[in-house]
A and B are shown apart, each in its own frame.
Chain A
């Protein structure tokens, strides 16, 4: 039982490049979400999903896309990376939205030059 697995752990991009951050969970959780963490800003919700085929925007969705084709996977796509997207990204999942604890991945440190 691996929990929530995020890849890669570190990534450096050039402005304008695109990439996908991977997130997978093996706990059969319905709810999955992506957060970014910047100094002094806490954890800000980017996108979330309450089940396969269902996604919704959080607080800071601009510049990011998500899809949820399976229960296990919830990739985050940066369409055209910008320096403002330099951040630590966390994927998290839970059995139920709001009423069950979140399990966090170990995070991805992303730098956009």
Chain B
């Protein structure tokens, strides 16, 4: 079952901040975040494992709330290069003990950064 991402699209001016949310109806083993530019393959940003830890990557960071089965991606002081579609991917099966489900992605959040 695909995780749910919100919002579907965001338009920002360069330098503004954005938050992208990802939620699941199942207990999460891990959450991945990827960014995809038009016509290209998705590119890895970060992984968060159960435990509520927050990770950072330059001005992009993420949190993982295991109890709420949610993750959020934070983009601060956005740059033009941040434009693209952001996907969260979730692995749930291993956590429930039922074996792997495979990494399942949300429908994506389109981020447009204007100068």
Contacts and interface: CB of A to CB of B under 8 A. Distances in A.
Interface string A19-55: 0000000000000010100001111110010100000
B32 A33 contact: no
A106 interface: yes
Contacts of A102: 32, 34, 42, 44, 89, 103
Contact residue range for chain A? 20 to 34
Interface residues of B, number: 25
A107 interface: yes
A44 to B, nearest CB: 7
Interface string B76-98: 00000000000101010010000
Contacts of A59: 1-2, 104
A41 B42 CA distance: 14
Interface stretch (A10-18, A74-82, A93-101): A93-101
A11 B30 CA distance: 34
A104 B42 contact: yes
B18 interface: no
Interface of A: 33, 35, 40-45, 48, 50, 56, 58-59, 90, 97-107
Given A33-B102, A56-B100, A106-B41, 12 more contacts: A40-B107, A43-B108, A44-B105, A45-B102, A45-B103, A48-B103, A58-B104, A59-B1, A98-B91, A98-B94, A99-B47, A102-B89
29 contacts: A33-B103, A40-B107, A42-B87, A42-B107, A43-B87, A44-B2, A44-B105, A45-B104, A45-B105, A48-B102, A48-B103, A56-B100, A56-B102, A59-B1, A90-B42, A97-B94, A98-B30, A98-B94, A98-B100, A99-B30, A99-B49, A99-B91, A100-B47, A101-B32, A102-B44, A102-B103, A104-B41, A104-B43, A106-B40
